[in-house]
Amino acid sequence: MHQPLIGVTACQRHIEGHDSHMVVNKYVNALRQAAGVEVVLLPALEQGLAPGILERLDGLCLTGSYSNVEPRHFGQAPWPDDCRYDVDRDGSALSLIRQARQLKLPMLGICRGLQEMNVAYGGSLHHRLQEQAGMLDHREPAHEWKDSHYDPAHGINLNPDGLLYRLTQQAEFMVNSLHQQGINRLGEGLIAEALAPDGLIEAISDPSLPFALGVQWHPEWQPDQHPLYQAIFTAFGAACARHQSTICA
Ligand SMILES: N[C@@H](CCC(=O)NCCCC(=O)O)C(=O)O
């Protein structure tokens, strides 16, 4: 049997004078090397992708992105500042999550991907966490050196009844942090898998599905050096392989 084939969400970017669909290499590398799956890019289309695509795949990965989910998707007015949006990414991601739920397709959301999952489940997001009373500054360090942006930034406590604790048998971890939006109202049917020291929900899952996990941090960054990050990709790859075997049975 072939490796499981999973769809990874693209973002819209203007590259070398052309509007482009793109994904950062580290997501593809971690999925292929740490999860053991093959990857196809799912274009970012505001109207969403046609039904029938996810039926041909064994999993869905929703990547991070510097752009932000438009607040209209959770019933709020546009943010007051010149926030960076990606309407095509929003359209694709939210429709893919809804389709994946119906298909019970394994789903892994990373950073923006967690936020999209929460919104697709009817939840809402904080904007500019660093301006919320009592919240940590969850943004990456201001300096330019990219690699250090993914250094461990804060601790998380795992839900002892959650998937991540079952996978790791460890209650606390340090994770990286590169975001300024975060979960406000938790979506219907999701559970909190991990909390930051300020109480922010840092990971979610839908226990009614075979595998539906969202994490606010970036496990695709050097998973071979972080047991928690590796455990996430190992479990996602295994869930995609199980899905593939049920579909091919
Ligand atoms: N824009 C949102 C989500 C942040 C996010 O996904 N960051 C990713 C950084 C680039 C990468 O590593 O892919 C927010 O600010 O909360």
pLDDT of residue 176: 98
From 220, 226, 240, 243, active-site residue: 220
Q: Which domain holds residue 218?
A: 5-248
What pTM was computed for the model? 0.97
In this structure, what CATH number is given to the domain that contains residue 38? Answer: 3.40.50.880
Count other C-beta atoms under 10 Å from residue 59's C-beta: 27
38 tagged catalytic: no
pLDDT, tens digit only, all 249 positions of the chain:
799 999 999 999 999 999 999 999 999 999 999 999 999 999 999 999 988 999 999 999 999 999 999 999 999 998 888 789 999 999 999 999 999 999 999 999 999 999 999 999 999 999 999 999 999 999 999 888 888 999 999 999 999 999 999 999 999 999 999 999 999 999 999 999 999 999 999 999 999 999 999 999 999 999 999 999 999 999 999 999 999 998 766
Q: How far away, in angstroms, is 64 Cα from ligand 1 center? A: 5
Pocket-testing residue among 146, 149, 179, ligand 1, by greatest number of atoms within 8 A of Cβ: 179
Q: What's the domain count of the chain?
A: 1
ipTM of model over 0.95: yes
